[in-house]
Structure 1
Amino acid sequence: MLPAEMVGGVSAGRAANLEVTGEALSTFVKRVDSALRNLEGSAGDPTRIGAQGIKPTSLNSGSSAAFPEAHALYLQYNRVHEELTSLSKTLHLQIEAIGIAVRGAHVGFDNLEEDQRRRFAEIQTRIQQIEDAKSDERRPEPTVSGSL
């Protein structure tokens, strides 16, 4: 049985702790916006990370002889590069979504401009697509037994 003050999901004490001032939200929005600007101006920007690829021939030193270690290094580099690019894109999207969510918490989500609500929904859809793609990559391939 829940205590009387918890009816509705949040106790009165916790509700008081969740209340924030408009000034605190504005300060937080400014910090989120600053973090987003810093990311966009840094080497961690998704566009910059995506442009930092290498070619398989870059590791062969001009030799036509097979160098399996170089090929393994190339494959590992590409795997890590793809992960970093994905992480950077996801981080960028999440910071943008936090900024919109904080604005919505301050003025009410229904009071946000339509383009902000639409962008928030687009971001959530894109993040879910990224997470689904990662889950699909990690899911083991079904095995087919040789005997029937």
Structure 2
Amino acid sequence: MASDLERGVGELKKFRTRVDTVLAELESGDGGKTKVAAERVTRGSFGVGLPFAEAEGFYKEYNRVHKALVTLSKSLGDQIELLTIGVHAADVGYDNVEVAQRARFHEIKARLDRERDQAIEREQAQPKPAQPAQPRQDAKTGTEDLG
């Protein structure tokens, strides 16, 4: 069993190395959280004082998507840090992990759990769109019944 754990930790370390490489490439590119957070479009970019509903709608949607991307990027970074600490703990043993790292692990986990719960609550609070009546086929006649 100990050898299985060692193999598992080794695989987790390889995975962490690959993830770290991908993250470094992502962060240094246009998809990095710093650049994503810095990219802003102002309402003035679409003209000021013009009654242009489509531009207003695009601006609002852009900001909604931008906020979601920044949140996603932060969440992904937190999850990877959480996994990194977990892999380290699996490697050296939980008792050998620094107190500060343990605290950081639990802080991140609590925040991610809270954010997940809030997202579920928001989703459940949104009204569900009405489903159109689905036609059903009568088994005897083969005709459609709109129910």
TM-score for the superposition, normalised by structure 2: 0.69
For residues 35 and 106 of structure 1, the distance between their equivalents in structure 2, rounded to whole angstroms, comes to 22
Matched, 1:58 2:20: no
Matched, 1:140 2:125: yes
Q: Which runs of 5 or more residues in structure 2 are unaligned? A: 128-147
Residue aligned with 1:44, SS: coil
Distance 1:131 1:103, change over 3 A: same
Distance 1:72 1:25, change over 3 A: closer
Offset at 1:113? 1.2
Offset at 1:98? 1.1
1:115 corresponds in structure 2 to 100
Check whether the contact 1:100–1:116 (CA below 8 A) recurs between aligned residues: yes
- Percent sequence identity over aligned pairs: 37
For residues 116 and 44 of structure 2, the distance between their equivalents in structure 1, rounded to whole angstroms, comes to 32
1:96 corresponds in structure 2 to 81
Distance 1:135 1:53, change over 3 A: farther
Matched, 1:74 2:59: yes
1:48 corresponds in structure 2 to 35
For residues 94 and 28 of structure 2, the distance between their equivalents in structure 1, rounded to whole angstroms, comes to 29
1:8 corresponds in structure 2 to none
Matched, 1:20 2:6: yes
Distance 1:141 1:54, change over 3 A: same
Q: Which structure is richer in relative contact order (CA contacts within 8 A, separation 6 or more)?
A: 1
- Residue 124 of structure 2 aligns to which amino acid in structure 1? R
Pairwise CA RMSD of aligned residues? Answer: 2.7
Distance 1:121 1:16, change over 3 A: closer
Distance 1:94 1:42, change over 3 A: farther
Q: Which runs of 5 or more residues in structure 1 are unaligned? A: 1-14, 143-148
